[in-house]
């Protein structure tokens, strides 16, 4: 098990206001059993216990903040991670859905990265071939800005319907818009009449609190139709084993391992047909089809309950080590007069800087997504700049928020003639 990420160093993703009390630690860890007010939202049973707590963190990490004062004043809530001993599901027991404000004021897209685009194109081609989509229709629940659905329809020669409150029509090419219809809304009963030959849902399920109810409603909507579904969700086993606090944020109220993901779907009368990890082990990919009969675990990744509970038991100690290591790394560099840059201005960055209570220690936050540049991180108020800004303010240490992008970032730095120390979470 990798406890600390020192091996990722490369040479040549708090009850305090971070603007005024950045030196104060923002997180508390606990392995003490608790008596939560609700049952496990994954299996409907339990028992559950608390393994991690972060006080007063931003309620969203992808929202676009147009000025620093608004970013610093952004609403906060407590996060309390519980794990279910019965199914292994991890969730935020303190989650308040009324605090969420999904809208077009979100910038969650990763498609400015060629690394991510390569993964997305490959996945689209794979799904198009696997489900023989030529001339068919795909429904994507939580389509974001629509990039993947467009790519899938191109690869498969199919039509699509995408539903997401954060969709922006100006981000879709006119030629693609003739093939794909987008609905700027939440998926719900109003759209249960929309039939499709494949239902896709990527990086959305982790934002849904009542997961059991959501999957049950989807199954009821499909009825007797043998419509396959494909879900992609962040893998929580990696988060637990690595102590990856930077991948824990308020709007992610539900955390799945491969096994908890499959158990949730089997419970609601789906046959899980495929289950694997992808994108350097960061994402769970799951295929499933409706079934009239109960099904039982038959895929190797499903048999992870003991490992999940063991990782959850060790998590408080592991995450404490991670936070101490990264806090000291950044602060010692700052004390030595080194200019520290965080590369990646999304959710991981928000969690990293707010959980550690970092402020002046971070000189710049960089992101290649032009829609993030000139905006500010909720909670910490750091301004996001493009890579070109580093030509003027040469960094000494670059902390990369996702190791999968290190090669791409190193190439960008080399292209500017910059050779700082690079470390990745």
pLDDT of residue 31: 38
What are 99-120's pLDDT values in tens digits? 888 777 776 778 888 999 999 9
The gap from C-alpha 44 to its chain's centroid, in whole angstroms, comes to 24
| DSSP assignment string, 178-241 | TTEEEE-S--SGGGTT---SEEEEES-GGG-S-HHHHHHHHHHHHTT----EEEEEEBHHHHHH
> Dmax over Cα atoms in the chain, in whole Å?
65
Residues 190, 254 within the same domain: yes
Is residue 404 within 8 A of residue 8, CB to CB? The reply is no
User: How many domains is the chain built from?
Assistant: 3
Task: Return the structure tokens found at 347.
Answer: 């959710």
* End residue of a domain, out of 296, 327, 349: 296
Residues 264, 383 within the same domain: no
Residues 123, 242 within the same domain: yes
pLDDT of residue 38: 63
Residues 374, 411 within the same domain: yes
SS3 state at 88: coil
Pairing verdict, β 198-202 and 364-366: unpaired
- Which residues, in sequence order, are CB contacts of 336 under 8 Å at separation 6+? none
What are 252-307's pLDDT values in tens digits? 999 999 999 999 999 999 999 999 999 999 999 999 999 999 999 999 999 999 99
CB neighbour class for 360 (10 Å; exposed up to 12, middle 13-18, buried from 19): exposed
pLDDT of residue 70: 96
C-alpha 48/C-alpha 51 separation (Å) is 10
Residues 80, 152 within the same domain: no
C-alpha 262/C-alpha 288 separation (Å) is 9
C-alpha 115/C-alpha 402 separation (Å) is 12
What are 10-21's pLDDT values in tens digits? 222 222 222 222
| DSSP assignment string, 342-362 | EE--SHHHHHHHHHHT-STT-
pLDDT of residue 18: 26
C-alpha 279/C-alpha 257 separation (Å) is 15
C-alpha 56/C-alpha 375 separation (Å) is 22
Task: Return the structure tokens found at 100.
Answer: 């969420």
User: Which residues form the domain of 212?
Assistant: 114-296
In a domain, 384, yes or no: yes
pLDDT of residue 14: 28
Residues 209, 268 within the same domain: yes
Evaluate if pTM is beyond 0.75.
Answer: yes
In a domain, 307, yes or no: no
Residue 220 has pLDDT above 90, yes or no: yes
In a domain, 378, yes or no: yes
């Amino acid at each position: 098990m990798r406890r600390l990420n020192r091996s990722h160093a490369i040479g040549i993703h708090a009850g305090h206001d971070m603007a005024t009390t950045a030196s104060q630690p923002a997180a508390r860890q606990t392995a003490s059993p608790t008596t939560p007010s609700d049952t496990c939202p994954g299996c409907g049973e339990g028992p559950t216990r608390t393994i991690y707590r972060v006080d007063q963190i931003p309620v969203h990490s992808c929202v676009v903040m147009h000025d620093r004062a608004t970013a610093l004043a952004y609403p906060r809530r407590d996060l309390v991670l519980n794990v279910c001993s019965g199914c292994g599901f991890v969730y935020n027991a303190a989650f308040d859905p009324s605090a969420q404000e999904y809208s077009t004021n979100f910038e969650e897209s990763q498609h400015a990265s060629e690394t991510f685009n390569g993964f997305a194109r490959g996945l689209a081609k794979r799904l198009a071939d696997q489900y023989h989509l030529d001339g068919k229709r795909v429904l994507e629940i939580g389509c974001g800005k629509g990039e993947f659905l467009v790519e899938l329809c191109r690869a498969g020669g199919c039509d699509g319907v995408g539903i997401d409150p954060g969709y922006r029509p100006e981000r879709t090419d006119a030629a693609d818009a003739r093939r794909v219809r987008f609905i700027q809304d939440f998926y719900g009963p109003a759209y249960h009449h929309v039939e499709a030959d494949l239902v896709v849902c990527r990086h959305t399920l982790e934002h849904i609190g009542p997961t059991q109810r959501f999957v049950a409603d989807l199954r009821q909507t499909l009825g007797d139709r043998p419509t396959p579904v494909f879900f992609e969700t962040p893998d929580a086993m990696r988060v637990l084993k690595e102590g990856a606090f930077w991948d824990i944020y308020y709007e992610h109220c539900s955390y799945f391992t491969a096994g908890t993901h499959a158990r949730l779907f089997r419970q609601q009368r789906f046959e899980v047909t495929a289950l694997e990890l992808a994108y350097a082990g960061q994402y769970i990919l799951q295929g499933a089809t409706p079934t009239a009969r109960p099904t039982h675990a038959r895929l190797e990744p499903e048999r992870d309950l003991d490992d999940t509970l063991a990782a959850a038991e060790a998590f408080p100690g592991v995450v404490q080590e991670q936070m101490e290591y990264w806090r000291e790394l950044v602060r010692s560099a700052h004390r030595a007069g080194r200019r520290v840059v965080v590369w990646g201005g999304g959710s991981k960055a928000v969690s990293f800087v707010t959980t550690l209570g970092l402020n002046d220690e971070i000189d710049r936050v960089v992101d290649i997504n032009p829609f993030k540049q000139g905006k500010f991180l909720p909670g910490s108020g750091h301004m996001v700049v493009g890579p070109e800004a580093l030509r003027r303010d040469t960094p000494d240490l670059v902390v990369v928020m996702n190791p999968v992008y290190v090669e791409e970032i190193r190439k960008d730095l080399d292209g500017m003639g910059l050779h700082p120390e690079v470390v990745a979470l």
